[in-house]
Amino acid sequence: MLKGKVALVTGSTSGIGLAMARALAAKGADIMLNGFGDEGEIEAIRAGIADEFGIGAAYNAADMSSGEECAGLVRAARAELGDCDILVNNAGIQHTAPIEEFPVERWEAIIAINLSQSFHTIRAALPGMYEKGWGRIVNIASVHGRVASVNKAAYVAAKHGLVGLTKVVALEAAGRGVTCNAICPGWVLTPLIQAQVDLRATEKGLTQEEAKADLLAEKQPSKQFATTEQVGGLAAFLCSPAADQITGQELGIDGGWTAQ
C-alpha cells in the first residue's frame, strides 16, 4: 500500500514510535528512524526492519528539542531516502509535579519536544508534500490532549496545543492531498508509563501487577492497557486510501477514558 513512500517517525527507537515505524514498513514504506539509545541496539533495529520488510531504513539522532535539528531531520530523510511523504510526530517526554513546584526547565523541555517539535517538522515537510499532492501527517498527542490530570501542567498544555496545531494544519492543507490527524492514546505500557507504575508500586507498597491494575482502574474503564501495535495499526490506517477524507481529527485509543 505504501511502497515508494518515505515515512519519518520521530522518537522511533522504542515504544509507540518503533511500533508505528514497523507498521508503516510492513505496508512498504521506507523509514527514517529517530531517537536516543545505544548505537549498537539502534543499528540492530534499523537493519532488522530493513531486512524483515525489504524496505530502505535510515537513522538520524537529531535532538527534537532543537527547532533547527527538527528541520534538519526532514532534510536528512530527503537526502537519504527521498521526500517525506508520511510524517509521524511521536517524540515526547514527561515530568509530574504540582504547578507551583514545577521546574521551569522541565516546562521548557516538554513544550519544546512535545509541541514545538511538530511545528518545526511539519513546517519543513509540508512544501514537499504539497509539491507531490500527497502527504500524511500523524501527530501522537495523548488522552491528555483532550482531558487533564493533576500534576501534568506542561504535558497537558503541550498535548492540547498539539491537537490544536493538528486542526490548523488540516484546514490549511485541505484540498491539497495532505491530511493531518492526531492519535490520542490512553494508558499504553511504554517505558514512560512503566515509570509511573514503578512509582505507584513504591509509594503504595504494591506489586507490579497490583500497581498496573490500580493505575488502570483510576482512568481507563476497559481495565486493559492499549498496545503499541494498536497505535501503530491506527497510524497505518490513517495513511491508507480508506482515510483520505479523515483529517483534523483527534482519534482516541483510550479504553473508554474520555467517554466518561
Active site residues: 155
List alpha helices for the chain, DSSP H. 15-26, 39-53, 67-80, 104-111, 117-132, 153-173, 191-204, 208-219, 228-238
Distance (Å, whole) CA 87 – CA 124:
10
Biggest CA-to-CA distance, the chain: 57
First to last CA, the chain: 36
> Hey, is 88 helix, strand or coil?
strand
| Nearest alpha-carbon partner for 221 in 173, 182, 187, 249 | 187
Grid coordinates of 38: 545505544
Distance (Å, whole) CA 61 – CA 113:
14
Distance (Å, whole) CA 6 – CA 154:
32
Grid coordinates of 205: 507498597
Assign residue 58 a region (left: φ > 0; alpha: ψ between -120 and 50; beta: otherwise): beta
Query: Using the 8-state DSSP alphabet, how is residue 112 labeled?
Result: I
Angle at 253 between CA 248 and CA 258, to 5 degrees: 85
Q: Which amino acid is at 176?
A: R
